[in-house]
Amino acid sequence: MDKKLDLLQGTLDLMVLQTLAAMGPQHGYGVARRIEQISGDKIILNQGTIYAALVRLQQRRLIKAEWGTSDNNRRARYYSLTARGRKQLEERATNWQRIASVMDRIFDQPAAEEPNK
Amino acid sequence: MTSWIYRMSARIGALFQKSRLDRELKEELAAHIDLATEENIRRGMDPAAARRQALREFGSRDSAMELHRQTRGLPVLENFIQDVRHAISVLTRRPLLLATTTLSIAIGVGLNVAVYSVLQRVLFDAEIAVGEPEGVVNIGPGFSYPNYEDLRDSGAVANLAARQTSSLTWRNGDATSTASARVVSANFFDVIGVRPLYGEAFGSQNMAGGIDMAGRVVVAYEFWQQRLGGSRATIGQTLSLNGWPYVVVGVLSKGFYSMVGPMVTADVYVPISERVATALNDCRAAQFDLIGRQSNAMTREQTLAALRVAAQRLESQFPEANRGLGRNLTVSPVGAMTMLVSPQVRRAVLTAAAALYLLAGLVLLTACMNVAGMLAARAIERGSEISIRMALGATRGRIIQQLLAESLVIAALGCAAGAALWIAGATAIPNMAVLADAGMHVAPGPLPFLYCLALTILVTVCCGLAPAVTANHIQPGVGLKPRQAGFQIRRWTLGRSLVAGQVAVCFVLLTGASVLLVSLLRQQVTDPGFDVAHTISIQMRLPTAAQGPQALPRSFTGLGSMVETLPGVESVTCVRFPPLAFLPVSARVHHADSNRDGAFTADLYPVGPQYFETMGIPLDRGRDFNDEDLRLASANETAGVINRTFAERYFRETDPIGRRLVIEEREIGQDRVVRIVGVARDSKLRSLNEDRHPVFYVPEASRSLIVRVSGGTGVAARTLERMFADREPGAVVTVSPMESQLALALRPARMGAAVLLALGGIGVVLAMIGLQGIIAYTVARRTFEIGIRVALGATRTAIMRMVFSDTFLVLGVGSFAGSLLSFALVGALRPLLAADQRLTNPLPLLGVLTLLLIAGLAVSLRPARRAAKVDPMTALRKE
């Protein structure tokens, strides 16, 4: 089923997983903000959509959630990777990199000259 | 796969924690905005701008929540649950609507389930819970005991059992009653593969305790529970059956029963022996049904072929007794109409079943139409609401889904209530006095749950279709505009067709009932042709073990002379069946001087000496039967009496006395020559409404007596009853004056009329509820129009006439359709009617029409009054 996810959705999920792996437990706002920052604000994320991704990842047991307190004493829900999520991230990251490098090579080919008519 | 299951369960789980999850999500989103605002403030924005910025970056909170919900739950199911919840809250706000619709459906469904479970028992469940039923076959048409033994030992089938339906006397303390019984061969339970719940089946020959095989009895679960106390200690106890002691060796499990007649299950199972069966050595007494277990890998055809070979061997050994044994042999799977072996009986039962189903279906249909009408009216009422919702983006499918949810709620409630009605009925039915009098132990089947479920779906669709169609015509946004003046009202709407349909159905039911009532009235004044006031019928079932010198004689001669000595008794005779008991035996008869080709059919009625004198039937010519005729009854040539119709039809001008006739008796395989000694006046034999038909009386001794007394039959009946009880307490003797026999004969027609009347009554009430709804609704919609009419000078009477004309239109259309349909139904009632009753009698139709008109006027009186009171100024201002 995982393979059938459409690219954009799959991409967001992967970004969330990687963000959590890099930053450790994080609340929804933190994840959304981090993705925006890393992308140099190139991804225009409707921050609200992050929560659907978070619930989806929870259902797949890739991340887990706990209520915690933020630095300035605000109650918030903290998400963290599960062991399963870490494994999944590795697999998918490798896969992603392979696809990306193949795509790079394909686009690196010199354009053929226009054949004469 | 496991992760899929986990995800599904998480999604389903989310449905049940909706409010908690929503609360948490809200809190989480609020935290998100706060965190973002704080960060913006740190970056130097003023608080208000910081919050605006945070909100803008977040996007729509509603759509985020909706997306979240869709991801975590199951949107389709959630919508459905929401619809049902909405429907429940909408319906509970209209308790009257809810109650009426639920009640209508409950009545329809209850009736339907009742008919279904009864028919299931009668038609298909003749013998259930047979172990591995594939291998078990019924073998017909009927075999004598010696033939059974030979076929069993022939090895044509792996194991072969014989069974017979019987009724035994059961002496329990001081009371004696009958127990319906299966008289079976000892291997019966092995063949059908059934193990008792407690104890064992007949077991092996040398059973512990030394109880001999003929003295063992296995009892049915219901009998054990209801009549024997239902304790484990029953095993080993002794029952007195037919005067013999029987030891209970086993109790069957609840699921197993064996039908011995329509809706009658066997109470006890006893092994075949002289104590419970007769003529076991007679090769001609084809009295046992066989049931066999095929050898593995044999098809039914192969079994049939093997049995035929064995049967043909028997035929060649005993050609006299076994003519046609192999040819007539049949093999059929168990389960389907086992006991309805005769095609006539099967056809009659199937016709009755179809008619019952049709009636129950019609009532359910009326109920559905009623509910559909009410829901459709509501859909129109809510038209503006619906059109606004459509304008806001709800799809038609979604709207229709919501309307269907309403009909689903009603259907589910109605079906549950209907099932409850049936359960209540099913517990009450077995205790009904009518059935107990008729000697029927009725065991209705368990509630057919799947059938109820199917009905619920059917009812949902039937009820929801009309409102859905109505809603489908609604245009989005129309409700936003000011309402158009009510001039576009169509004269004929879907709602009206539905009410007219209901009127048609109850018209049919009531016409049927009135036709039966007319027939009943006619039958009540019909002269049965014999003396009812001075005759008493006595049925007896004597134990095979007669005890003591006071025991009743076993022969007619003995019984007859015993009864004759009583004071007040004028004469005694006997009959094979009492008259008017719907038990005919017909035979092919031909003149002795012609051959078989000239044969005709006549009813054969075996009676005792002095039959005509006792019954008070005058003889046109010749003489009554006497004792000498009875003594010679089994001789090659016997005496016979024919009725007047027989004489007129087959002897015309000539004198039948002294002429000889040949009765072809297929059962015995031997023809019988009869010399006519008398011609009797016609009398009713099978039923009161039978046609004149030829009847042939022959002498035969039996223990079913008819006694003629000089005084009143009531006192004499009690005297006789006491005398029999004193003489032999172990016998079951029923003494009933012929008048009650007459009432018994009227019972089918009476019950039919009662059922049709009750159904028709229910139908009328339902239809009138629908009619009032539709008329009141029309009046409400036409208030504006009525206001204009009144303003233009229409009188109150004219307005009321206008409303009533609506009523008449609906009633007229319904009645017209109903009268067409009722011709079809009345045809089906034919068997219950007198032969010469005209089916096209307009009187019942007119009566029903009048009744419907009066009821229709009564229910439309209030809406009509309301219409007449419309004040033109108020009405016009409102629009």
Cβ(B280)–Cβ(B272) under 8 Å? yes
Cβ(B647)–Cβ(B678) under 8 Å? no
Please give the residue that has the higher pLDDT: either B243 or B486.
B243
Cα–Cα distance for residue pair B444/B117, rounded to 1 Å: 7
Find the CB nearest A48 among B6, B10, B63. Answer: B63
* pLDDT of the residue at B262: 53
B170, β-bridge pairs = B177, B241
Q: Does B28 touch chain A (CB under 8 A)?
A: yes
**Is the pLDDT at B573 greater than 60, yes or no?**
yes
Residue A117: which pLDDT band, with cuts at 50, 70 and 90?
A: very low
Mean pLDDT of chain B: 80
Residue B767: which pLDDT band, with cuts at 50, 70 and 90?
A: confident
Residue A1: which pLDDT band, with cuts at 50, 70 and 90?
A: very low
CB contacts, 8 Å: A57 with chain B: none
Give the single-character DSSP code of A110.
P
**CB-based contact A48 B29, cutoff 8 Å:** yes
**CB-based contact B35 A61, cutoff 8 Å:** no
Residue B511: which pLDDT band, with cuts at 50, 70 and 90?
A: confident
CB contacts, 8 Å: A16 with chain B: none
Tokens of B61: 């909170």
- Please give, rounded to a whole number of angstroms, the shortest distance from the CA of B401 to a CA of chain A: 27
**Is the pLDDT at B339 greater than 50, yes or no?**
no
CB contacts, 8 Å: A76 with chain B: 28, 31-32, 35
Q: Does B503 touch chain A (CB under 8 A)?
A: no
- Please give, rounded to a whole number of angstroms, the shortest distance from the CA of B81 to a CA of chain A: 22
Long-range CB contact pairs, B376-382, < 8 A, 24+: B376/B466, B376/B467, B376/B469, B376/B470, B376/B494, B376/B495, B376/B498, B377/B495, B377/B773, B377/B774, B377/B777, B378/B97, B378/B467, B379/B403, B379/B467, B379/B468, B379/B470, B379/B471, B379/B474, B380/B470, B380/B777
Beta strand B159-172 with B238-241: parallel, antiparallel or unpaired?
Answer: antiparallel
**CB-based contact A51 B39, cutoff 8 Å:** no
Beta strand B600-607 with B660-664: parallel, antiparallel or unpaired?
Answer: unpaired
CB contacts, 8 Å: A48 with chain B: 29, 58-61, 63-64, 67
Among chain B residues, CA nearest to A67: B28
Report the b/e string of B795-810 with b at 16+ CB within 10 A: eeeebbebbbebbeeb
**CB-based contact A77 B64, cutoff 8 Å:** no
Tokens of B458: 């059917």
Please give the residue that has the higher pLDDT: either A115 or B816.
B816
Least confident of A4-8, B33-37, B706-710: A4-8
**CB-based contact A60 B38, cutoff 8 Å:** no
Among chain A residues, CA nearest to B12: A59
Residue B73: which pLDDT band, with cuts at 50, 70 and 90?
A: confident
* pLDDT of the residue at B429: 63
Cα–Cα distance for residue pair B50/B41, rounded to 1 Å: 6
Cα–Cα distance for residue pair B302/B157, rounded to 1 Å: 10
**Is the pLDDT at B337 greater than 60, yes or no?**
no
Find the CB nearest A28 among B28, B38, B71. Answer: B28
What is the sign, positive or negative, of the torsion defined by CA atoms of B2, B8, B12, B14? Answer: positive
Cα–Cα distance for residue pair B590/B708, rounded to 1 Å: 34
Cβ(B253)–Cβ(B224) under 8 Å? no
* pLDDT of the residue at A6: 39
**CB-based contact A47 B6, cutoff 8 Å:** no
B interface mutation test: which of A55, A75, A87 has the most B CBs within 10 A?
A55
**CB-based contact A48 B67, cutoff 8 Å:** yes
* pLDDT of the residue at B624: 92
CB contacts, 8 Å: A27 with chain B: 31-32, 35
User: What's the whole-model pTM score?
Assistant: 0.60
**Is the pLDDT at B879 greater than 70, yes or no?**
no
**CB-based contact B27 A47, cutoff 8 Å:** no
Residue range B563-573: mean pLDDT, rounded: 87
Q: Does B67 touch chain A (CB under 8 A)?
A: yes
Which position has the token pair 């129309």?
Answer: B478
Residue B669: which pLDDT band, with cuts at 50, 70 and 90?
A: low
Burial tier of A106 (Cβ tally within 10 Å: 0-12, 13-18, 19+): exposed
Residue type, B341: V
* pLDDT of the residue at B122: 61
Which position has the token pair 């054949």?
Answer: A115
> How far is residue B106 CA from its own chain's centroid?
17
Q: How far is CA B840 from CA B447, B517, B525, B539, B543, in A?
A: 41, 15, 21, 41, 52
Find the CB nearest B64 among A48, A60, A72. Answer: A48
Please give the residue that has the higher pLDDT: either B455 or B545.
B455
- Please give, rounded to a whole number of angstroms, the shortest distance from the CA of A80 to a CA of chain B: 16
* pLDDT of the residue at A110: 76
Find the CB nearest B31 among A27, A33, A59. Answer: A27
Q: How far is CA B193 from CA A6, A32, B108, B129, in A?
A: 59, 71, 39, 9
A interface mutation test: which of B69, B71, B74 has the most A CBs within 10 A?
B71
**CB-based contact B59 A75, cutoff 8 Å:** no
Please give the residue that has the higher pLDDT: either B415 or B213.
B415
**CB-based contact A46 B59, cutoff 8 Å:** yes
**Is the pLDDT at B659 greater than 80, yes or no?**
yes
Please give the residue that has the higher pLDDT: either B320 or B831.
B320
Cα–Cα distance for residue pair B156/B474, rounded to 1 Å: 72
Query: Omega into B844 within 30° of 0, i.e. cis?
Result: no
What is the per-residue DSSP string for B810-836? HHHHHHHHHHHHHHHHHHHTGGGS-TT
H helical segments located in B73-212: 75-92, 95-119, 145-154, 188-192
Number of A to B CB contacts under 8 A, please give it: 77
Among chain A residues, CA nearest to B29: A48
**Segment (H or E) for B862:** helix B842-868
Q: Does B66 touch chain A (CB under 8 A)?
A: no
Please give the residue that has the higher pLDDT: either B360 or B657.
B657
Find the CB nearest B3 among A52, A60, A76. Answer: A60
Find the CB nearest A47 among B10, B32, B67. Answer: B32
**Segment (H or E) for B413:** helix B396-428
* pLDDT of the residue at B335: 56
CB contacts, 8 Å: B70 with chain A: 52
* pLDDT of the residue at B535: 92
Q: Does B22 touch chain A (CB under 8 A)?
A: no
Q: Does B667 touch chain A (CB under 8 A)?
A: no
Give the single-character DSSP code of B258.
B
* pLDDT of the residue at A43: 65
Q: How far is CA A78 from CA A86, B309, B515, in A?
A: 17, 86, 81
Tokens of B255: 């699921």
**CB-based contact B32 A72, cutoff 8 Å:** no
Q: Does B10 touch chain A (CB under 8 A)?
A: yes
Residue B681: which pLDDT band, with cuts at 50, 70 and 90?
A: very high
What is the per-residue DSSP string for B196-208? -SEE-SS--SS-T
**CB-based contact A48 B28, cutoff 8 Å:** no
The separation between the first and the last C-alpha atoms of chain B, rounded to the nearest angstrom, is 63
**Is the pLDDT at B328 greater than 80, yes or no?**
no
**CB-based contact A27 B24, cutoff 8 Å:** no
List, in order, residues 6 or more apart from A53 with CB less than 8 Å away: A9, A12, A13, A16
Cβ(B356)–Cβ(B350) under 8 Å? no
Residue range B825-829: mean pLDDT, rounded: 69
* pLDDT of the residue at B263: 55
Tokens of A116: 């004469």
Residue A7: which pLDDT band, with cuts at 50, 70 and 90?
A: very low
CB contacts, 8 Å: B32 with chain A: 27-29, 32, 47, 76
A interface mutation test: which of B12, B32, B55 has the most A CBs within 10 A?
B32
Residue A86: which pLDDT band, with cuts at 50, 70 and 90?
A: very high
Least confident of A7-16, B273-282, B727-736: A7-16
**CB-based contact A51 B72, cutoff 8 Å:** no
Please give the residue that has the higher pLDDT: either B467 or A30.
A30
Residue range B83-109: mean pLDDT, rounded: 83
Among chain A residues, CA nearest to B58: A47
* pLDDT of the residue at A4: 32
Three-state DSSP class for residue B585? coil
Cα–Cα distance for residue pair B748/B348, rounded to 1 Å: 13
Cα–Cα distance for residue pair B93/B617, rounded to 1 Å: 70
Tokens of B71: 């991801």
Which position has the token pair 């999500």?
Answer: B25
* Interface residues from chain A to B (CB-CB < 8 Å): 1, 27-30, 32-33, 46-49, 51-52, 55-56, 58-61, 70, 72, 74-77
Least confident of A28-32, B286-290, B352-356, B856-860: B352-356
**Is the pLDDT at B461 greater than 50, yes or no?**
yes
Burial tier of B488 (Cβ tally within 10 Å: 0-12, 13-18, 19+): exposed
- The 3-state secondary structure of B658-673, one letter per residue: CCEEEEECCCCCCCEE
Q: Does B68 touch chain A (CB under 8 A)?
A: yes
Residue range A53-80: mean pLDDT, rounded: 86
Three-state DSSP class for residue B288? strand
Residue B485: which pLDDT band, with cuts at 50, 70 and 90?
A: very low
Cβ(B391)–Cβ(B477) under 8 Å? yes
Nearest residue to B849 via CA among B381, B507, B578: B507
Residue B708: which pLDDT band, with cuts at 50, 70 and 90?
A: very high
**Is the pLDDT at B350 greater than 70, yes or no?**
yes
- Please give, rounded to a whole number of angstroms, the shortest distance from the CA of A44 to a CA of chain B: 9
Find the CB nearest A55 among B27, B35, B72. Answer: B72
For the segment B583-635, what is each residue's pLDDT rounded down to a tens digit? Answer: 667 788 888 887 777 788 888 888 999 999 999 999 998 999 988 888 887 77
Cα–Cα distance for residue pair B547/A12, rounded to 1 Å: 97
Cα–Cα distance for residue pair B373/B605, rounded to 1 Å: 57
Nearest residue to B116 via CA among B438, B421, B367, B361: B361
**Segment (H or E) for B268:** strand B268-271
- Please give, rounded to a whole number of angstroms, the shortest distance from the CA of B80 to a CA of chain A: 22
**Segment (H or E) for B169:** strand B159-172
Tokens of B83: 């619809």
* pLDDT of the residue at B152: 87
For the segment A91-103, what is each residue's pLDDT rounded down to a tens digit? Answer: 988 988 898 899 8
List, in order, residues 6 or more apart from B599 with CB less than 8 Å away: B588, B589, B590, B664
What is the sign, positive or negative, of the torsion defined by CA atoms of B340, B342, B348, B354? Answer: positive
Cβ(B323)–Cβ(B196) under 8 Å? no
